[in-house]
Amino acid sequence: MSEQPPSPPGAIEGRRRPPVSDPGRFGTAVFGAILIAVGAWFFAEQTLGIALPDIDWGSLWPVFLIGLGIWVLIGSADRRRSG
């Protein structure tokens, strides 16, 4: 029989604590903020009847690709620096 290493302080039996630095949190927060902003835009326009400028969503998708590319580059640079 092999012995299991001792659990780190504060860990629940059989589970490990998540790492202190969680790179997925920032991306999740940004994605959530984008969803809230788009939802608020549609809510204000459709439900409240507030006249907001029209957005041509067909022309806006390249901006999302540019943002995604920047996010990937920044993540790559962070991993290279810390690794």
Each domain of the chain, given as residue ranges in start order, spans 25-82
- Residue among 55, 54, 52 at smallest CA distance from 63: 55
Q: Identify residue 67 by its one-letter amino acid code.
A: G
pTM over 0.95: no
pLDDT, tens digit (0-9, with 9 covering 90-100), for 60-69: 888 888 888 8
Whether the Cβ atoms of residue 23 and residue 75 lie closer than 8 Å to each other? yes
Q: How confident is the model at residue 70 (pLDDT cuts 50, 70, 90)?
A: confident
- The encoded tokens of residue 79 equal 């991993």
